[in-house]
Amino acid sequence: MISKIKIKDLGILDYKSAWDFQKDFHKKVILGVQPDTLFFVEHEPVYTFGKNADKNHLLQSADKDVKIFNVERGGDVTFHGPGQIVGYPIIDLNRYVKSVSWYMRTLEEVLIETLATYSIEAKTKEGLTGVWVGDEKIGAQGVRISRWVTMHGFALNVNTDLTYFDGIIPCGIFEHGVTSMEKILGKKQNIVLIKNRLAKLFNQAFKINESVKVL
């Protein structure tokens, strides 16, 4: 059982460019001409709506200068911006476990284990996706899976400006707030170090199932 997932950091990139890149790379993974890869990126401030999102979850108080995108992932509305690590795994689940629920739970576990290395006790909430510290969400997820190849992924609030979340009902959840590693730990965190820890734990969690023959 060995991992063959590559890790690539795209740096700071506007959402549209990253989205177009994802769609192109996703097609190439389906065709077998690109390897399974986890991409890290930080976006300029943006609100994104999943395919089943309620547009009323964008509030009147939202910053009018923040761009809005309607995308093909699952989930409701969320925010991406500087200081937030966004992970886009584009991998063929035929090589791992062909289960959407397994994939989502494994992404959550990677975030939980990463936060544990900072003595942050994060958990999942029954009936909800993502990762929580108490009643505040620190990690969000929204994915698209086509022909068992994934795209979109997760977002971890590290040094994120949380005031942007005041303009939305994050993930359509009224009763809970959001938090960040900076807020919990009381100081800004080293994003490069956190990406390295995420990458290591991601590769530990996703192991090639060598008994599966991908045609």
Q: Using the 8-state DSSP alphabet, how is residue 203 labeled?
A: H
Q: What is the DSSP string of 3-50?
A: ---EEEEEEE--HHHHHHHHHHHHHHHHHTSS--EEEEEEPSSEEEE-
Token pair listed for 47:
């609100």
Q: Spot the catalytic one: 85, 171, 184, 198.
A: 171
Q: Are strands 46-49 and 67-70 parallel, antiparallel or unpaired?
A: parallel
Dist CA 71 CA 63 (whole Å): 20
3-state secondary structure of 80: strand
> Is 51 known to be catalytic?
no
Tell me the catalytic residues.
Answer: 171
